[in-house]
Amino acid sequence: MTDQHEKWRPPTHLPVLVTDSSVEDDETPPPEVGVIGEFPLLFQEFPTDPADPSIVTLRASGEPLHSGKPTRQQPGTGEQWWDWAVLLRGAGWTATCRPVLGQVEVTGRLIGDLAYATTGRIRGRIIRVQVAADRYHRDPDIPHSPWKQMPGTRYYREVTTAPRFFAGVTRTTETAIARWACWT
Protein backbone atom coordinates (compact mmCIF):
# COMPACT_ATOMS: atom_id res chain seq x y z
CA MET A 1 0.00 0.00 0.00
CA THR A 2 1.08 3.54 -0.66
CA ASP A 3 1.12 6.37 1.84
CA GLN A 4 -1.94 7.81 0.07
CA HIS A 5 -3.95 4.63 0.76
CA GLU A 6 -2.81 4.50 4.36
CA LYS A 7 -3.99 8.07 4.95
CA TRP A 8 -7.43 7.57 3.37
CA ARG A 9 -10.32 7.77 5.79
CA PRO A 10 -14.00 7.22 5.14
CA PRO A 11 -16.07 10.40 4.90
CA THR A 12 -17.59 11.95 8.01
CA HIS A 13 -21.33 12.52 7.65
CA LEU A 14 -22.46 15.74 9.34
CA PRO A 15 -25.74 17.66 9.45
CA VAL A 16 -25.24 21.40 8.96
CA LEU A 17 -28.00 23.92 9.54
CA VAL A 18 -27.52 26.53 6.80
CA THR A 19 -29.01 29.85 7.85
CA ASP A 20 -31.57 31.48 5.62
CA SER A 21 -29.68 34.79 5.89
CA SER A 22 -26.43 33.27 4.55
CA VAL A 23 -28.28 31.89 1.50
CA GLU A 24 -30.45 34.95 0.91
CA ASP A 25 -27.42 37.26 1.33
CA ASP A 26 -25.63 35.20 -1.35
CA GLU A 27 -22.82 34.28 1.08
CA THR A 28 -23.65 30.59 0.62
CA PRO A 29 -25.09 29.02 -2.52
CA PRO A 30 -28.30 27.11 -1.77
CA PRO A 31 -27.26 23.58 -0.72
CA GLU A 32 -27.86 21.05 -3.51
CA VAL A 33 -27.67 17.26 -3.34
CA GLY A 34 -24.57 15.91 -5.11
CA VAL A 35 -22.71 19.22 -5.19
CA ILE A 36 -19.39 19.87 -3.45
CA GLY A 37 -20.12 22.74 -1.07
CA GLU A 38 -17.85 24.92 1.01
CA PHE A 39 -18.81 27.71 3.38
CA PRO A 40 -18.27 29.32 6.82
CA LEU A 41 -19.17 27.22 9.85
CA LEU A 42 -19.79 27.81 13.54
CA PHE A 43 -20.89 25.52 16.37
CA GLN A 44 -23.59 26.34 18.91
CA GLU A 45 -24.28 24.09 21.87
CA PHE A 46 -27.78 22.67 22.33
CA PRO A 47 -29.08 19.82 24.47
CA THR A 48 -29.64 16.47 22.80
CA ASP A 49 -33.01 16.32 21.01
CA PRO A 50 -33.93 13.09 19.16
CA ALA A 51 -36.58 15.03 17.20
CA ASP A 52 -34.01 17.47 15.78
CA PRO A 53 -31.74 15.92 13.11
CA SER A 54 -29.46 18.97 13.11
CA ILE A 55 -28.21 18.33 16.68
CA VAL A 56 -25.17 16.06 16.96
CA THR A 57 -22.49 15.06 19.43
CA LEU A 58 -18.99 15.56 18.03
CA ARG A 59 -15.43 14.92 19.12
CA ALA A 60 -13.04 17.68 18.23
CA SER A 61 -9.98 19.59 19.33
CA GLY A 62 -10.49 23.12 20.69
CA GLU A 63 -7.78 25.65 19.78
CA PRO A 64 -7.65 29.30 20.88
CA LEU A 65 -7.94 31.98 18.18
CA HIS A 66 -6.37 35.44 18.20
CA SER A 67 -3.45 34.23 20.38
CA GLY A 68 -5.95 33.32 23.10
CA LYS A 69 -6.79 36.96 23.78
CA PRO A 70 -10.45 37.89 24.27
CA THR A 71 -12.17 40.60 22.26
CA ARG A 72 -14.55 43.10 23.81
CA GLN A 73 -18.06 42.94 22.38
CA GLN A 74 -20.18 46.12 22.38
CA PRO A 75 -23.28 45.65 20.20
CA GLY A 76 -24.58 49.22 20.75
CA THR A 77 -27.28 48.21 23.21
CA GLY A 78 -25.36 49.40 26.25
CA GLU A 79 -24.22 45.85 26.96
CA GLN A 80 -20.62 44.73 26.75
CA TRP A 81 -18.71 41.52 27.42
CA TRP A 82 -15.47 39.73 26.71
CA ASP A 83 -15.56 37.01 24.07
CA TRP A 84 -12.93 34.27 23.76
CA ALA A 85 -12.88 32.84 20.25
CA VAL A 86 -12.08 29.14 19.92
CA LEU A 87 -11.78 27.02 16.80
CA LEU A 88 -13.08 23.46 16.99
CA ARG A 89 -11.25 21.17 14.59
CA GLY A 90 -12.88 17.90 13.54
CA ALA A 91 -12.49 15.42 10.69
CA GLY A 92 -12.98 17.57 7.58
CA TRP A 93 -14.37 20.66 9.30
CA THR A 94 -13.57 23.59 11.59
CA ALA A 95 -16.04 25.78 13.47
CA THR A 96 -15.84 28.64 15.92
CA CYS A 97 -17.54 28.11 19.27
CA ARG A 98 -17.52 28.94 22.98
CA PRO A 99 -14.30 28.52 24.95
CA VAL A 100 -13.37 24.84 25.13
CA LEU A 101 -9.77 23.71 24.79
CA GLY A 102 -8.08 20.40 24.07
CA GLN A 103 -9.86 17.19 23.12
CA VAL A 104 -13.58 17.73 23.73
CA GLU A 105 -16.95 16.15 23.11
CA VAL A 106 -19.66 18.72 22.39
CA THR A 107 -23.37 18.43 21.61
CA GLY A 108 -25.12 21.00 19.49
CA ARG A 109 -25.56 22.27 15.98
CA LEU A 110 -23.10 23.00 13.16
CA ILE A 111 -24.35 26.19 11.52
CA GLY A 112 -23.45 27.44 8.06
CA ASP A 113 -23.47 31.17 8.62
CA LEU A 114 -22.15 34.48 7.32
CA ALA A 115 -18.37 34.72 7.05
CA TYR A 116 -18.06 37.68 9.43
CA ALA A 117 -19.48 35.50 12.23
CA THR A 118 -16.89 32.71 12.05
CA THR A 119 -13.47 31.60 10.88
CA GLY A 120 -14.55 27.94 10.64
CA ARG A 121 -15.10 26.17 7.30
CA ILE A 122 -16.63 23.01 5.95
CA ARG A 123 -16.12 21.41 2.54
CA GLY A 124 -17.67 18.23 1.23
CA ARG A 125 -20.30 16.60 -0.94
CA ILE A 126 -23.87 17.40 0.04
CA ILE A 127 -25.76 14.10 0.27
CA ARG A 128 -29.15 15.25 1.59
CA VAL A 129 -31.05 18.54 1.90
CA GLN A 130 -34.10 19.19 4.05
CA VAL A 131 -35.93 22.46 4.58
CA ALA A 132 -36.92 22.95 8.22
CA ALA A 133 -39.95 25.10 8.94
CA ASP A 134 -41.13 26.48 12.28
CA ARG A 135 -44.23 28.40 13.28
CA TYR A 136 -43.83 31.66 15.17
CA HIS A 137 -46.31 33.84 17.04
CA ARG A 138 -46.53 37.17 18.85
CA ASP A 139 -48.60 38.00 21.88
CA PRO A 140 -51.52 40.02 20.42
CA ASP A 141 -52.14 41.74 23.77
CA ILE A 142 -48.63 43.21 23.97
CA PRO A 143 -47.72 45.87 21.39
CA HIS A 144 -44.41 45.18 19.62
CA SER A 145 -44.01 41.84 21.38
CA PRO A 146 -41.13 39.68 20.10
CA TRP A 147 -41.66 36.77 17.75
CA LYS A 148 -41.38 33.43 19.54
CA GLN A 149 -41.04 29.97 18.08
CA MET A 150 -43.99 27.74 18.87
CA PRO A 151 -42.67 24.52 20.48
CA GLY A 152 -43.41 21.30 18.62
CA THR A 153 -44.21 22.96 15.28
CA ARG A 154 -40.98 22.19 13.38
CA TYR A 155 -41.38 19.98 10.34
CA TYR A 156 -39.03 18.94 7.54
CA ARG A 157 -39.44 18.45 3.82
CA GLU A 158 -36.97 16.74 1.50
CA VAL A 159 -35.68 18.79 -1.43
CA THR A 160 -32.87 18.34 -3.94
CA THR A 161 -31.91 22.03 -3.73
CA ALA A 162 -32.63 24.50 -0.95
CA PRO A 163 -34.58 27.56 -2.08
CA ARG A 164 -32.70 30.76 -2.90
CA PHE A 165 -35.24 32.70 -0.83
CA PHE A 166 -37.18 31.29 2.09
CA ALA A 167 -40.60 32.23 3.49
CA GLY A 168 -41.44 35.83 2.63
CA VAL A 169 -43.21 36.71 5.86
CA THR A 170 -42.28 39.16 8.60
CA ARG A 171 -40.31 36.46 10.40
CA THR A 172 -38.50 33.86 8.33
CA THR A 173 -39.74 30.43 9.28
CA GLU A 174 -37.62 28.18 7.08
CA THR A 175 -33.98 27.21 6.94
CA ALA A 176 -32.06 24.38 5.25
CA ILE A 177 -30.39 21.36 6.81
CA ALA A 178 -27.73 19.91 4.54
CA ARG A 179 -26.15 16.54 5.33
CA TRP A 180 -22.48 16.55 4.30
CA ALA A 181 -19.92 13.91 3.53
CA CYS A 182 -16.58 15.52 4.47
CA TRP A 183 -13.12 14.28 3.68
CA THR A 184 -9.99 15.11 5.58
Report pLDDT digits (tens) over 23-45. 888 888 888 899 888 888 888 89
Residue type, 129: V
Residue 158 near residue 105 (C-beta atoms within 8 A): no
- pLDDT score recorded for residue 16: 85
Per-residue pLDDT tens digits for 47-102: 988 878 888 898 888 888 777 677 777 777 888 877 777 888 888 788 888 777 88
Return d(Cα 93, Cα 42) in angstroms, integer: 10
Return d(Cα 151, Cα 133) in angstroms, integer: 12
Per-residue pLDDT tens digits for 134-177: 777 788 888 888 888 777 777 788 888 888 777 654 344 455 55
Q: Which H or E element spans position 37?
A: strand 36-45
Residue 73 near residue 82 (C-beta atoms within 8 A): yes
